[in-house]
């Protein structure tokens, strides 16, 4: 016989809760709570996200700057206060400075005006449509909206169709 056999110590339940008292609510549970092991009662249920809406998307810097450039600001005019986009307000300030004799402002004003004029698309000329195209469009409008066709000779609506409608 060994000496150790004579002195048997009572076995203690090894459930990972030795540091807790006997009456602690977690005592006797079949799992450990600790690092990366939250209590079962506070865990998210299976299949449910902890962040259902997800991360908010940020805004692109160019969009934020565009919003600020186009944001309305109040300016004073001889006719009273009015709101204009910030870019227009800046242009009006440069215009006012150039008219008061500021050479740098005048140079900047002309550069802005030149860029606007050179980058402006050419005006669209209002050309008359060929008669065939006008007839097709008029027929489509008449069918679509139930309006009588105008008489091509007089430009007036047909009397027969007018009485029916």
Say if 47 falls within a structural domain: no
Dihedral-angle region of residue 2 (phi above 0 means left; psi in -120 to 50 means alpha; beta otherwise): beta
| Total residues belonging to the chain | 165
Say if 66 falls within a structural domain: yes
Q: What is the pLDDT of residue 99?
A: 94
Say if 147 falls within a structural domain: no
Q: What is the pLDDT of residue 52?
A: 84
- The tens-digit pLDDT sequence of the chain (165 residues) is 555 555 565 555 555 555 555 665 555 556 677 788 888 888 888 888 888 888 888 889 999 999 999 999 999 988 999 999 999 999 999 999 999 999 999 999 999 888 888 888 777 777 777 888 888 888 888 888 876 666 656 555 555 544 544
Beta bridge partners of 37: 34
Q: What is the pLDDT of residue 14?
A: 53
Q: For residues 93 and 95, give the distance between their C-alpha atoms in angstroms, rounded to a whole number.
A: 5
Domain count, the chain: 1
Token reading at 24: 């602690």
Q: Could you list the residue range(s) of the whole structural domain that residue 70 is in?
A: 60-119
Q: For residues 57 and 60, give the distance between their C-alpha atoms in angstroms, rounded to a whole number.
A: 9
Q: What is the pLDDT of residue 165?
A: 46
Say if 161 falls within a structural domain: no
User: Within 10 Å of residue 161's Cβ, how many Cβ atoms?
Assistant: 13
Strands 80-85 and 72-77: antiparallel
32-53 pLDDT, tens digit per residue, is: 777 888 888 888 888 888 888 8
pTM reported for the whole predicted model: 0.42
Say if 89 falls within a structural domain: yes
Q: What is the pLDDT of residue 150?
A: 62
Q: For residues 71 and 51, give the distance between their C-alpha atoms in angstroms, rounded to a whole number.
A: 34
């Amino acid at each position: 016989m060994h000496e150790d056999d004579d002195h048997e110590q009572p076995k203690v339940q090894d459930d990972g809760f030795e540091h807790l008292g006997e009456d602690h609510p977690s005592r006797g549970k079949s799992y450990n709570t600790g690092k990366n092991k939250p209590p079962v009662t506070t865990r998210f249920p299976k299949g449910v996200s902890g962040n259902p809406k997800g991360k908010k998307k940020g805004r692109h810097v160019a969009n934020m700057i565009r919003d600020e450039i186009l944001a309305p600001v109040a300016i004073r005019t001889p006719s009273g206060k009015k709101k204009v986009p910030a870019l227009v307000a800046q242009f009006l300030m440069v215009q006012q400075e150039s008219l008061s004799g500021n050479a740098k402002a005048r140079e900047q004003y002309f550069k802005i005006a030149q860029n606007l004029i050179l980058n402006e698309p050419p005006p669209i000329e209002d050309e008359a449509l060929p008669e065939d195209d006008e007839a097709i469009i008029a027929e489509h409008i008449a069918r679509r909206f139930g309006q009588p066709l105008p008489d091509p000779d007089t430009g007036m609506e047909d009397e027969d169709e007018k009485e029916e409608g």
